[in-house]
Structure 1
């Protein structure tokens, strides 16, 4: 039962960081508010499932794995994918605007 709390904490932390990431980004109009939140939470849940299935939540020296690794992976994927989507969306928007303005 102690390991389930690590999932709850992972979801809360990665979701909160996702919202903070969106709010801190000046160009957050290029993507939706839920993109960094959903990515962080999904990746954190998947990493938690893998870590617990591997048995690290019950081994004495590895009890930190289901707590820390999902949070770090969730935040890292959130930042990386958000920046990737932002760049691609900006290029596509500029290309579409140029095409419209040329006639």
Structure 2
């Protein structure tokens, strides 16, 4: 259970780092990338533990490292998709309002 806590804390930290490094981070909240990272990290940890990758000699790193990497990657993907779409939608709405 301690490994799950460490994985969640590491993925949340990665999500905040992703948010801080995004140039369009004013378009969405700071909790979004951290939440996506934590959710994906915890879910992948649960799946890996249920699949039997728990505490095997020589493979102990898999349920520790892989969920953190997957969570960070999901956070980057969510930020790229959401930031681009949100900026485009806000620009279209603002243009429509200003044309009235």
Shift of residue 74, structure 1, vs aligned partner: 0.2
The CA deviation at 1:6 is: 1.8
Scaled by the length of structure 1, the TM-score of the pair is 0.91
C-alpha distance in structure 2 between counterparts of 1:52 and 1:73, whole Å = 15
Deviation at 1:12, TM superposition (A): 1.1
| Helix, strand or coil at the partner of 1:58 | coil
Any idea what the Cα deviations from partners look like across 1:1-56, whole Å, max 9, x if unmatched? xxx22211111111111112212222211111100000000000000000000111
Name segments (4+ residues, structure 1) moved above 4 Å: none
- Looking at structure 2, the residues matched to 25 and 94 of structure 1 have their Cα atoms a distance apart, in angstroms, of 18
Please give the root-mean-square deviation of Cα atoms over the aligned residues, in Å: 1.0
2:91 corresponds to: 94
**Which aligned pairs between 1:1-103 and structure 2 lie closer than 5 A?**
4-103=1-100
Aligned length: 100
In the TM superposition, what whole-angstrom CA distance separates every residue of 1:39-89 from its partner, at most 9, and x where no partner exists? 000000000000000111122232111101100000000000111000100
Normalised TM-score (structure 2): 0.93
